[in-house]
Amino acid sequence: MTVSVATSPDATRKGFEKSAMPLGIVLLIASVLASLCVGRYEVPVWRALEIILGGLVQPFAEHAEIDERIVLLVRAPRTLFAVLAGAGLAVAGASLQAVFRNPLVSPQVLGVSQGAALGGAFAIVMGIWGLPLILLVSLGAVLALVLVGLLAGIGGRSEMLTIILAGMVVGALGSALVSLVQMFADPQSSLPAIVFWLMGSFSTLTWERLWVGGPGIFVAVAFLYAMRFRLNVLALGETEARTLGSNPDRERWIIFALVALIVGSQVAVSGIVGWVGLVIPHAARLLVGEDNRRLIPTAILFGAAYMVLVDTIARTATAAEIPLGILTAIVGAPVFALLLRQYQLRKAR
Amino acid sequence: MRSPLLATLASVFLASIAGAQEINLTDMEGRAVTLEKPAERIATFPMPMASVVVSMDGGIDRLVGMNEQSYAAHFEGLLGTIFPEAADIPFDFVGNGFVPNVESLVTLSPDLVVQWGGRGNDIVDPITNAGLSTLLVLSGTEDNARGSQSLIAEAIGKPERFETMLHWRNEVVAAVEAKAAAIAKDDKPSVLYMLRSLSEITATGRENHYNTWYIEMAGGISSSAELNGTVPISAEQIAVWNPDVILLNSFEPELSVDWVYDHPILSQLAAAQEHRVYKMPIGGYRWEPASQESPLTWMWLANLLHPEVYDFDLRAEMRSAYEFLYNYEVSDAEIDSILRMDMQGDAANYAQFRAQ
């Protein structure tokens, strides 16, 4: 294997294509278990495993012991949501990249996250929580996407630069409107709530919140997974997609709605988490190539594992919670730079 | 006044009178501030300073503008009852991050503006450029609280009132510290003060932090002393600390001690099991930041942490303090409300505060 790296990059990728999926599954299971066993409160690993097993066997049992509560009521919902959020953001990024035929787009670059934030800030000021909050956040996400689509012309002919610029414009508008909403928010109650929520953190995750935000992400990820072949067709471009008997307009809108549902659910529960939608699809692309039939499941697995690991660091590294946005950027940016460099090298060969 | 000579003479005369009253201050950023006469119209940006002005004066007439959060505290606490006329005091001149809206500020024609120091010149220069005398104050420690109170008292020409309060502060510190020295380390409960609870949980470390200072003075050990500044923490971290006593902030109006008793993790900890969860009172101002009422906070906490050691007559102390600070005779019902007897009257060691 090491020899083939030096001699033939294509052979390497062939090797990864087969091993990426099992590797992702192992990584995900390992990170979830590690996340449940590690934390500020010391629960011995064997005891944590025993508690997890107990929780699986009797999910509705009363938890009397403090260590049971820590593992099952604090860590478990948080870890599960990290799995969903990571998988969702990664697959949302990969899908958008296919639809826009542009490797640089992600929910944040396209202004979708900012649109979602606007919907959420508005909802918090109005005192709206729970499911209606998610609907408003998703609506904000959809509106932002539609606006970017209209500005850039999504008919397959739109240029990379136009899309990115349109996303920047919409994102800037969204951020400005969020600031405007903050100006009118009550400084005692809703303003701190908005500020904290925008920073992005899973620290307030409970089972109730998981049930509010989780199902939407799960359904949308499942649908996008099912549409992975369609994404390949869309990535070919307008004419080719029509020639192949597909209805690109309708499918694009379905994908937008699914992406908005993912970003909306995730942002509604845990605020803006950046970088995952950009870094993970690229990492997956380097491992398994452009084919979305492999890329989508790989991105799902690696995105989930990555988010779980980052969140575990966020809550265990120091006594204070580290905002997720800081970690995803600090880990994400160098990894992205490294990937970019390798990609260039490979192309040069 | 027809003759220009007479006018000149008159203005020289007036100026000399003013000179006799001139007040020279050095604010907490080391800036020289000169007032021609004791300030009569004061606008305050820092939250605690509005009630400091009221207490140093013994009335609210000099306060012409305050922060929206001071306004909220005013009407949430006792001052709203004593001075309902504050309803008309504007707060629209304080923008996000204490940025002044100078035009709104100028319409109040203040002769003194109190602003935060240590937060850069951007929130100060617009005020001084408008030609307004600006006094910068700091917070976060007992020394800073004393410094800022002393400056206000001097600015309004009532330094003797600050002297009285300073004496009271020193007296209570001495009384608390004298007995705290005899408390064995093992008998000191660990105390967690949470600055915020509902949207997120935050706590503060020891460095330059007033809350840690008085918790330790009153014979407690601060659970969160290891933190650096004010930062978000998780319930799991609190479980690690397992504090004996939990103090909840007075800033979040919807926050009640039930939040702890209903919390899946916090309800399992020593503080909840022993019913030693208390929400900070709010009198003329909130009791947790340093203010003119701080000695009441110290006595309240000392009595709570060590009822076998301290026996301050808190209700009597409150009566005489409010008499002096606000010229107000506080009723038993009002004291009950300040101490939140409805919410936490049944908490451990709280019966001592009931009306006899």
What the block records as the tokens of A166 is 């349109």
Amino acid identity at A338: L
pTM above 0.95, yes or no: no
- What domains can you pick out in chain A, each with its CATH number? 80-348 (1.10.3470.10)
Reduced 3-state DSSP string for A15-43: HHHHHHHHHHHHHHHHHHHHHHHCCCCCC
Of A39, A197, A319, the CB nearest to B227: A319
Is A342's Cβ below 8 Å from some Cβ in B? no
Pairwise CA distance, residues A91 & A211, whole Å: 20
Higher-scoring residue by pLDDT: A288, A61: A288
For A214-236, the three-class secondary structure string (H helix, E strand, C coil) is HHHHHHHHHHHHHCHHHHHHHHH
Could you read off the pLDDT of B166-187 as tens digits, one per residue? 999 999 999 999 999 999 999 9
Gap from B223 CA to chain A (nearest CA, Å): 11
Cβ within 8 Å, pair A69-B251: no
Is the pLDDT at B305 greater than 90? The verdict is yes
A69 touches chain B (CB under 8 A): yes
- Residues in A touching B228 (Cβ below 8 Å): 320
Pick from A189, A203, A206: CB nearest B232:
A203
Instruction: Provide the shortest C-alpha distance from residue B18 to chain A (in Å).
Output: 41
Percentage of residues in chain A with pLDDT exceeding 70?
Answer: 92
Smallest Cα distance from B326 to chain A, Å: 25
- The Cα–Cα gap between B232 and B222 comes to 16
Kindly compute the dihedral angle of the four CA atoms of residues B254, B259, B260, B266, in this order, to the nearest 10 degrees: -120
pLDDT of residue A142: 86
Q: Is A109 left (phi over 0), alpha (psi -120 to 50) or beta?
A: alpha
Mean pLDDT check: name the lowest of A184-198, A205-219, B134-148, B232-246: A184-198
Task: Write the residue in B234, B253, B269 that is nearest to A321 by C-beta.
Answer: B234
For A104-153, how does the pLDDT look when each residue is reduced to its tens digit (9 = 90+)?
A: 788 887 888 899 999 988 888 888 877 788 788 988 998 998 898 888 87
Gap between the Cα atoms of A100 and A104, Å rounded: 9
Interatomic CA distance for residues A118 and A29, integer angstroms = 35
Report CB contact under 8 Å: A188, B252.
yes
Q: What percent of chain A has pLDDT over 90?
A: 34
Q: Residue B241 and residue A302: Cα distance in Å, rounded?
A: 34
B242 φ/ψ sector (left φ>0, alpha ψ -120 to 50, else beta): left
Per-residue confidence (pLDDT) for residue B150, from 0 to 100: 97
pLDDT for res A63: 80
Do residue A321 and residue B231 have CB atoms under 8 angstroms apart?
yes
Which of A124, A191, A197, A318 is the best residue to mutate to test the B interface, defined by the most B CB atoms within 10 Å of its own CB? A318
Q: Can you give the pLDDT at residue A1?
A: 32
Distance from CA of A333 to the nearest CA of B (A): 24
Q: What mean pLDDT, rounded, does chain B reach?
A: 92
Residue A196 CA: distances (Å) to CA of A133, A204, A322, A325, A330: 16, 10, 12, 12, 19
Kindly report, residue by residue over A176-202, the tens digit of the pLDDT. 999 898 888 876 667 777 877 777 788
Query: Tell me, what's the pLDDT at A4?
Result: 35
| Ramachandran angles phi, psi of B136, nearest 5° | -100, 135
The pLDDT, as a whole number, for residue A8 is 41
pLDDT band at A297 (very low <50, low <70, confident <90, very high): very high
**pLDDT tens, residue by residue, A146-156:** 898 888 875 55
Handedness of CA A133, A136, A139, A144 (dihedral sign): negative
Kindly list the residues from chain B whose CB atom is less than 8 angstroms away from the CB atom of residue A315.
234, 236
Q: Is B253 on the interface with A (CB under 8 A)?
A: yes
Cβ count within 10 A of residue B333: 10
ipTM, 2 decimals?
A: 0.74
Name the token pair of A19. 């091993």
Q: What is the mean pLDDT of residues B114-131?
A: 92
Write out chain A residues lying below 8 Å of B200, CB-based: 192, 196, 201, 203-204
8 Å CB contact of A40 and B252: no
Contact pairs from chain A to chain B, CB under 8 Å: 81
| DSSP symbols for B99-156 | -B-HHHHHHT--SEEEEESSS-GGGTHHHHHTT--EEEE--SSHHHHHHHHHHHHHHT
- The pLDDT of residue A11 is above 50: no
**Contacts A192 to B, Cβ<8 Å:** 196, 199-200
| pLDDT greater than 80 at residue A322 | yes
Contacts of A304 (CB under 8 A, 6+ apart): A28, A82, A83, A84, A86, A87, A90
Residues in chain A: 349
Average pLDDT over residues B41-54: 96
Mutate to test the interface with B, among A51, A65, A74, A191 (most CBs of B within 10 A): A74
> What is the Cα–Cα distance from B90 to B87, expressed in whole angstroms?
8
What's the pLDDT score for residue A156? 54
Q: A253 CA to chain B: closest CA distance, Å?
A: 35
- pLDDT tier, A6 (very low <50, low <70, confident <90, very high otherwise): very low
Give the long-range contacts of residues A153-159, CB within 8 A, separation 24 or more: A154/A99, A154/A100, A154/A252, A155/A238, A156/A101, A156/A237, A156/A238, A156/A239, A156/A241, A156/A248, A157/A238, A158/A100
What is the arithmetic mean of pLDDT over B24-43?
95
Q: State residue B6's pLDDT score.
A: 61
CA distance readout (Å), B318 to A327, B179, B294? 48, 21, 11
The closest CB to that of A192, out of B72, B199, B226, belongs to B199
Residue B245 in tokens: 């006593």
Check CB contact under 8 Å for B239 and A75: no
Q: What residues form DSSP beta bridges with B221?
A: B190
Contact of B196 with chain A, judged by CB distance below 8 Å, is answered with yes
Q: Do B314 and B71 contact (CB within 8 A), yes or no?
A: no
Q: How far is B30 from chain A (nearest CA, A)?
A: 31
> Do B13-157 and B183-353 show the same overall fold?
yes
Cα–Cα distances in angstroms (integers) from residue B225 to residues A114, B192, B203, in the given order = 37, 9, 9
Instruction: Tell me the chain A residues in contact with residue B251 when contact means C-beta distances shorter than 8 Å.
Output: 188
Looking at CA atoms only, how far is residue B279 from chain A in angstroms? Answer: 16
Rounded to whole angstroms, how far apart are CA atoms A265 and A272? 11
Instruction: Find the helix packing angle between A190-199 and A112-125, rounded to 10°.
Output: 160
The DSSP bridge pattern shows strands B221-222 and B230-232 to be unpaired
pLDDT at A295: 94
- Tell me what pLDDT residue B341 has: 97
Whether chain B has a CB inside 8 Å of the CB on A321: the answer is: yes
Q: How far is CA A313 from CA A69, A206, A321, in A?
A: 20, 19, 9
Instruction: Please tell me the distance in Å from B188's CA to the nearest CA on chain A.
Output: 22
Q: pLDDT-based confidence at A157, cuts 50/70/90?
A: low
Domain B13-157 has CATH 1.20.1090.10: no
Q: What would the mean pLDDT of B154-168 be, rounded to a whole number?
A: 96
Mean pLDDT of A55-82: 89
- B232 — contact with chain A (CB < 8 Å)? yes
Q: Does the beta-carbon distance from B236 to A196 stay under 8 Å? A: no
| Mutate: best of A42, A189, A198, A206, partner B, most B CBs <10 A | A189
Q: How much of chain B, in percent, has pLDDT values that exceed 90? A: 81
In the three-class reduction of DSSP (H, G, I as helix; E, B as strand; rest coil), residue A238 is classed as helix
User: For residue A253, what pLDDT is reported?
Assistant: 81
CA angle A140, A141, A142 (to 5 degrees): 95
The whole-number average pLDDT for the span B19-42 is 91
Are residues B196 and A42, on separate chains, in Cβ contact within 8 Å? no
User: What superfamily does domain B183-353 belong to in CATH?
Assistant: Nitrogenase molybdenum iron protein domain (3.40.50.1980)
* Bigger pLDDT: B253 vs B220: B220
Q: Report which of residues B148 and B5 the model is more confident about.
A: B148
Q: How is chain B split into domains, by residue range?
A: 13-157, 183-353
B273 contact A CB<8A: no
Residue numbers in A near B206 (CB within 8 A)? none
The predicted structure's pLDDT at residue A14: 58
